[in-house]
Amino acid sequence: MDRYVVFGNPIGHSKSPAIHRLFAEQAAQQLEYSTQLAPLDGFSGCAREFFHQGGLGGNVTVPFKEEAYRLCDELTPRAERAGAVNMLSRLADGSVRGDNTDGEGLVRDLMANAGVELAGKRVLLLGAGGAVRGVLEPLLEQEPAALVIANRTVEKAELLAEVFAELGPVSASAFGVLAEPFDVIINATAASLAGDLPPLAASVIAPGRTTCYDMMYGKAPTPFLRWASEHGAAQALDGLGMLVEQAAVAFQYWRGVAVNTAPVLALLRAQLREG
Ligand code: ATR
């Protein structure tokens, strides 16, 4: 049986096995996809062993995406620039290729699922950690009019803006000074985890026009999405679609088959509501 895996720590609640099994069923593909809890200091050994034993591909989640980047023999340009890898594939000669499909997942979810245009738009990205680094290149590829990275620690946003400047109109900012409205606001801070909200002026939302997106998701809307709805955002979207879309990009690469993500996302959404 062709074997795939998702590495993480913790990993027990990962939805990736369910997503890939649904894709496999839909595409009539025979494969096995399981979770693997890697020790915090033992990811590389686990990954090497998995591929040595004949595993074909893997996804990588918190906290191993940077270590996965260092482990790969070959990197896609977008993974190289992101400095992080969420997808590993064994090539014919046994070497390991790393890619980062998070940004493509986000862009697909925004554009194909939510009908959001990015070309010529003003986009605000909140945060400057690994999650932001992973999505900057695919977002800039859509040619927004401006992409502002705002972060609590402004220096980190400035550094990212510098690194990605050659790819498009990207700049850095503190939260407090932003006042003009944006078309799309994406929360990639870890603030939601703490039930917290980046301190933004409500004027960054143009009522009825701005789409707000939180890369996190949960049974209930995140504090950021509640804040967005309260201030009249046209759409308040969570990151469940991004998760399903990044998985679809990986599945298509591994199996050479495109999948329809809509029924998979609908099922996961229903399970999330019930759970
Ligand atoms: P990830 O890989 O999820 O991006 P990370 O690299 O640890 O995780 O980055 C976390 C991001 O969330 C950072 O931008 C962090 O801001 P700082 O760079 O100033 O630390 C941001 N963050 C975490 N908690 C936050 C909070 N309560 N309010 C605002 N931003 C927060």
pLDDT confidence of residue 195? 87
Asked if 127 contacts 137 with a C-beta cutoff of 8 angstroms, the reply is: no
Residue where the block lists tokens 């400057």: 128
Q: Are 24 and 259 in contact (CB under 8 A)?
A: no
What pLDDT shows up at residue 230? 98
pLDDT at 193 (0 to 100):
84
Point out the ligand 1 atom lying closest to the alpha carbon of residue 128: 14
57 residue type, one letter? G
* Ligand 1 pocket mutation, candidates 102, 125, 152, criterion most atoms within 8 A of CB: 152
Which uninterrupted H or E stretch holds 262? helix 261-274
CATH fold for domain 2-100+241-274? Rossmann fold (3.40.50)
Instruction: For residue 27, give every residue at least 6 positions away whose Cβ sits within 8 Å of its Cβ, in sequence order, or none.
Output: 251, 255, 257, 259
What class does CATH assign to 103-238?
alpha beta
Q: How far apart are the first and last CA of the chain?
A: 31
Residues whose beta carbon lies within 6 Å of some atom of ligand 1: 127-131, 151-153, 156, 188-191, 194, 196, 198
What is the structure's pLDDT at 52? 96
- Going from N- to C-terminal start, the domains of the chain cover 2-100+241-274, 103-238
| CA-wise closest residue to 95 among 31, 59, 52, 32 | 52
Same CATH fold assignment for domains 2-100+241-274 and 103-238: yes
**Catalytic residue IDs:** 65
Predicted pLDDT of residue 134? 94
Question: What is the CA(30)–ligand 1 centre distance, in A?
Answer: 39
**pLDDT, mean of each 10-residue run, the chain (275 residues):** 97 96 98 98 97 97 96 97 97 97 98 98 96 96 98 98 97 97 97 90 98 96 97 98 98 98 98 91
Of 247, 144, 148, nearest in space to 188 by CA: 148
Report the distance separating Cα 113 and Cα 73, nearest Å: 34
Q: The tokens of 163 are what?
A: 């690194």
Number of neighbouring beta carbons within 10 Å of residue 257: 13
Atom in ligand 1 nearest the alpha carbon of residue 84: 2
